[in-house]
Chain A
């Protein structure tokens, strides 16, 4: 289903430092739903600046969905998650951990920090694409998302 809910285009913030993974995600989202705007932050600091509308991100929109890799330079993904879920304005944005690790410790920790869900990046390309399709299908067409605040 490609139609955007309520007619507005969905915006996804991808927090990912591997350019290869960023491109894969862009390709996969494009084939799942070309109308989505995918924003990319390549480390935790940039992600927080984007979300808090700081610096160059002063006109940024609040995303409908955050996809967060755990292994980030500078600020670790777990810290980003903790900050998002600790901020009264940001905690309502569905934050999906999308990372290579499938270690139980990482999974448990993410749910404790109230990640909305945890996904492990599949090794095979077609499984990866199917996953992105699934993310689009569930979170961007079926889930009722909180309405966005306008940025300042």
Chain B
């Protein structure tokens, strides 16, 4: 089933990830899952907030349908980004998923407390990673009812 909005728009995914290697893997996995998905990448928390608030270079950035957020970021810690998103009335309705290497219970609990929509461990094996991204696509981009941004005409 194709990931496509009712009005024909492609799905927009924002990946907040500073490891170039992981970015590439994620791009590959999404391309395999569904090439029509638009994957946007920012490498730190500040840029992420600029993207989401349509500031500076990101003034024309689309509103993401989902956000994938790594906890280990430079400049602004991933949890801080999560807190910013979830305390912003306009942004908090965007499903924000932690996708990170840490399995620490403290990180898991803190993320859920900050209302991360879910917490996902980055698998070490490519097969498992590909399967995870497929799962994300299947569940979030074809089955879940996502909030619609209100139309500004």
B117 at the interface (CB under 8 A from A): yes
> Is B120 a contact partner of A146 (Cβ separation < 8 A)?
no
> Is B143 a contact partner of A119 (Cβ separation < 8 A)?
yes
Q: List 26 A-B contacts (CB under 8 A).
A: A88-B113, A91-B113, A91-B115, A92-B109, A94-B112, A94-B117, A102-B145, A107-B145, A107-B147, A108-B93, A112-B92, A114-B86, A117-B117, A118-B146, A119-B143, A119-B145, A131-B143, A134-B143, A137-B135, A137-B139, A142-B135, A143-B120, A144-B108, A144-B121, A145-B119, A147-B109
> Is A139 a contact partner of B145 (Cβ separation < 8 A)?
no
> Is A139 a contact partner of B118 (Cβ separation < 8 A)?
yes
Listed in ascending order, the chain B residues whose CB lies under 8 Å from chain A are 86, 89, 92-93, 95, 103, 105, 108-109, 112-113, 115, 117-121, 132, 135-136, 138-140, 143-148
> Is A146 a contact partner of B139 (Cβ separation < 8 A)?
no
**Majority SS of interface residues in chain B?**
mixed
**Interface size of A as a range:** 20 to 34
Q: How far is the CA of A104 from the CA of B138 in the complex (A)?
A: 21
**Majority SS of interface residues in chain A?**
mixed
> Is A138 a contact partner of B145 (Cβ separation < 8 A)?
no
Q: How far is the CA of A107 from the CA of B103 in the complex (A)?
A: 31
Question: Which chain A residues border B145 with CB–CB below 8 Å?
Answer: 102, 107, 118-120
Given the known A-B contacts A102-B145, A119-B144, are A146 and B117 also in contact in the complex, defined by CB atoms under 8 Å?
Answer: no
Q: How far is the CA of A88 from the CA of B115 in the complex (A)?
A: 11
Which listed residue, A94, A111, A138, A142, touches B93 by the CB 8 Å rule? A111
> Is B135 a contact partner of A144 (Cβ separation < 8 A)?
no
> Is A114 a contact partner of B108 (Cβ separation < 8 A)?
no
Question: Which chain A residues border B147 with CB–CB below 8 Å?
Answer: 104, 107-108, 111, 118
Given the known A-B contacts A108-B148, A111-B147, are A116 and B135 also in contact in the complex, defined by CB atoms under 8 Å?
Answer: no
Q: How far is the CA of A119 from the CA of B142 in the complex (A)?
A: 11
Q: Give the distance to chain A from B87, nearest Cβ to Cβ, in Å.
A: 11
